[in-house]
Amino acid sequence: MEKDLGILCELCDTWYHAACEGVSVEAYRILSMIEEIHWFCKKCNSHAVKMIKMIKSFGKLQADEAIKKIKDTSEGIESVTAKKEVMSRFEESQTDTEEETKRINQKFQGNELGQDMTKKQQMECKALVYEAETTTERAEGLCVQSQGPTRAINNSETLSTSNSCDNVQFRLLNTNVMGLIGWSSKKDELQLLLNNHEIGIMGITETWGRSIDSDSEFDFTGFKLYRKDRSAVNNKKCGGVALYVKDDLKSVECTELNEKHCESVWCKVFFTQTDYIIVGLCYRSNNAGKREVTEMFECIKLASEMKQPMLIMGDFNYPGINWSTNEADSKGNKFLKLVCDYRLKQHITDATRKNSILDLVLTNELLVMDKPDIILPLTRCDHNILILKIKQIML
């Protein structure tokens, strides 16, 4: 059974339950069949990345010089076993990263894993291969990293949104704005973020939009708007969601999902004439009724059953879910079960409002290329801003 699958951290030499570490059955099968793909537990992963960065930086240094430098600078690794393991692996390694990655790709292209792999399993494999190819880049800091919220707005590298299926990348922004209409300062701050971080898709919750407000009041230059006000769901004030897709990306509304009686809005974003991802934005108020919550869950189920790469974001208001241990209180239990049943990966691990993780980003068959960048809230808001870099894995 899935709960009985064990996986060994290659750094601390400790066994873990695959499910507890967020490793799906498909990923477990791939890891067991391709020995060149290595796995580290959450505690050891950061140390492993540091060591990879260090090893690459040595370049043409003699092996004994490199080993001495590793010994002198391995203070951050607490486990003696882990230190010995890293030293042993470095001394024994005779193959550089490029050759190893080439072998992995050859295995995948030759389909040594068997002809019966499903599309989802192939996606999982492709994602793991991509992780192997980009680990060193992430270690060098080429992707945006954040240890906590920061107000700074930095320029970012250009991301490709070309028609090449193997190089589809975009940057995502998600936050709760606590009112957009009439707040010119918030719109100015968001526009600056959109421009400086080259955002491709933005989702904002609690727009406080009303049926009498025109779309022009929600506009951001260069983006197509999909919105749903709370008045479309009930007669209460505030709430509302607005989803923005850059004009460079072709997008169309998911009518069958948007008709549901809940505060969520959905669209399809095309990267070629036939390849697209499903994007959803949700807001679950603490005062949401049973029907509204049921309808939102139904949207997520229907979107998952479309068998397409999917991205869901928003403010779900489930502070009682521990995403590290996959445990939940009574209020969040059904939502956590929904996420697990459809094998969605939740990427936010730091608090987004006070000490709680309320704003989430869920994906399947999409690769988040590094840890989310967390920025302090907009003016007169109390939710942090999330920025993630996404890669679409296409076959």
The tokens describing 339, both together, are 């996420």
Give me the long-range contacts of 229-234 (CB less than 8 A, separation at least 24): 230/263, 233/261, 233/262, 233/263, 233/292, 234/289, 234/292
Amino acid making up residue 63:
A
Is 159 contained in some domain?
A: no
Confidence at residue 125, expressed as pLDDT on a 0 to 100 scale: 54
Q: Is the model's pLDDT at 377 over the cut of 60?
A: yes
Q: Convert the pLDDT of each residue in 89-146 to its tens digit.
A: 445 444 444 555 555 555 555 544 444 555 445 555 545 544 444 444 433 333 333 3
Whole-number Cα distances in Å, 14 to 10, 20, 40, 49, 85: 8, 14, 10, 18, 12
The answer to whether residues 282 and 328 belong to one domain is yes
Identify the band that residue 197 occupies on the pLDDT scale cut at 50, 70 and 90.
very high
Question: To the nearest whole percent, how much of the chain has pLDDT over 90?
Answer: 51
Who wins on pLDDT, 145 or 319? 319
**Domain boundary residue, one of 88, 104, 139:** 139
| Distance separating alpha carbons of residues 80 and 85, to the nearest angstrom | 9
175 and 73 fall within a common domain: no
In a domain, 158, yes or no: no
- CATH code for the domain of 208: 3.60.10.10
Tens of pLDDT along 214-250?
Answer: 999 999 999 999 999 999 999 888 999 999 999 999 9
183 and 129 in a common domain: no
What is the pLDDT at residue 72?
53
| Host domain of residue 227 | 165-392
pLDDT digits (tens, 9 = 90+) for 72-88: 554 444 445 544 544 55
pLDDT value at position 10? Answer: 78
- Token digits of residue 280: 């959803």
167 band by pLDDT with thresholds 50, 70 and 90: low
Same domain, 272 and 336: yes
- Pair 175, 106 in one domain: no
Whether 144 is covered by a domain: the verdict is no
In order, the DSSP letters of 150-214 are B------PPPP-SS-GGGEEEEEEEEE-S--TT-HHHHHHHHHHHHHTT-SEEEEE-----TTS-
Mean pLDDT across the chain, nearest whole number? 77
Indicate whether 156 belongs to any domain: no
Do 106 and 207 reside in the same domain of the chain? no
Query: What would the pLDDT profile of 352-363 be if each residue is shown by its tens digit?
Result: 999 999 999 999
Do both 100 and 242 map to the same domain?
A: no
Whether 356 maps to a domain, the answer reads yes
338 pLDDT higher than 80 = yes
Name which residue leads in pLDDT, 26 or 331: 331
